[in-house]
Amino acid sequence: MLENENLVVTVANNGKEGTKAVNRDEYDCVLMDIQMPIMGGYEATSEIRKSKKFKELPVIAMTAHAMAGEREKCIDAGMNDYVTKPIDPDKLFGTLVKWIEPGKRDFTTVVKESAVVTAEEDNLIPESIQGIDVVNGLTRVAGNKKLYRKLLLSFKANNVDSTHAIRKSLDSDDMEDAERLVHTIKGVAGNIGANDLFTSAAAMEAALRYSDEEQYERLLEAFAEELDFVMKSIDNSLQTGKTVKEAVIKDQPLDVENATTLLSEVMELMEDDYGETENRLELLKAMFDSSEFKTEFGILTSQIDGYDFDSAMETIKELSRTIEDHGKKQKV
């Protein structure tokens, strides 16, 4: 969404990576997620502010916590402003305009033009999806239906085992991890317009934060049911949304040479150019959806969607070896 407005974006997987990026390159602004693995937003901001050269660098908090005093807490931690999730694009861009100083920039990367929505892409999302406010969800991605469809499918793919993972954390008395898992689902649910799931996750998160065992045990069942309902609804609504292009390719054998070339390009691009990475993944999806390697490719896309680039690198290497071996057997 930011790139479509001609902003150049670098993504960090956690606060530690973020502080390294800030020290390595020059930025006009930092969007700081509060809850991150390895190093959270408060600690990362503290690390950035230790250097005098970053004294004036705008750091904007992004958090799903909208409680009283949260903004003040972020300001006290050294951040300049505060944006709540689910993201409201108008408020986000309004905040960026407030803090990013106008002027010419010299970029080594090429700024892409805003995406043009084709008639085919315009039909990617049905008008209504049970359990999801489609209008609300599209608003939060500035009407980008291609991106919205991807978010819905990624949400489904990434949360297949979430209820089991939360239960496992609770059984191990790891309340912090359980709260983190629920918080993540809450944030994405809000962004895609799954309002009832968002509300259920928020109640569950609050009970976990205050270690109210009676409450969170009661709420977990309702939360799990709502999550399952949303995931099934996404599956039912989008499974027939294949494009004509995909249907034509469906019965063709996997083009090993082109697939390995595209995978190699994804490996080179994914950390620096998310837009071009997306273009390659779309082409690969059409190839892999009708192949026996569909599951492996699904794992790769989930890793890239989650910005787990190290794991994605290994998956690409293994997948490339596997399909090359497959190609050799076919030739024999």
Q: How far apart are CA 155 and CA 131, in angstroms?
A: 14
In the prediction, which pLDDT does 238 show? 84
DSSP class of residue 87? P
Q: Are 81 and 60 in contact (CB under 8 A)?
A: yes
Distances from the Cα of 87 to the Cα of 91, 96, 98, 106, 192, angstroms: 8, 13, 17, 29, 10
Confidence of residue 66 (pLDDT cuts 50, 70, 90): low
* 85: nearest Cα among 212, 202, 6, 175: 202
Strand ranges across the sheet with 81-84: 30-33, 59-63, 81-84
Rg (CA), the chain: 21
Average pLDDT over residues 199-210: 90
217-235: per-residue pLDDT in tens? Answer: 889 999 999 999 999 999 8
Instruction: Say what the pLDDT of residue 117 is.
Output: 44
Q: Which domains does the chain have, with CATH numbers?
A: 3-99 (3.40.50.2300), 121-238 (1.20.120.160), 245-331 (no CATH)
What beta strand segments (E) does 38-166 contain? 59-63, 81-84
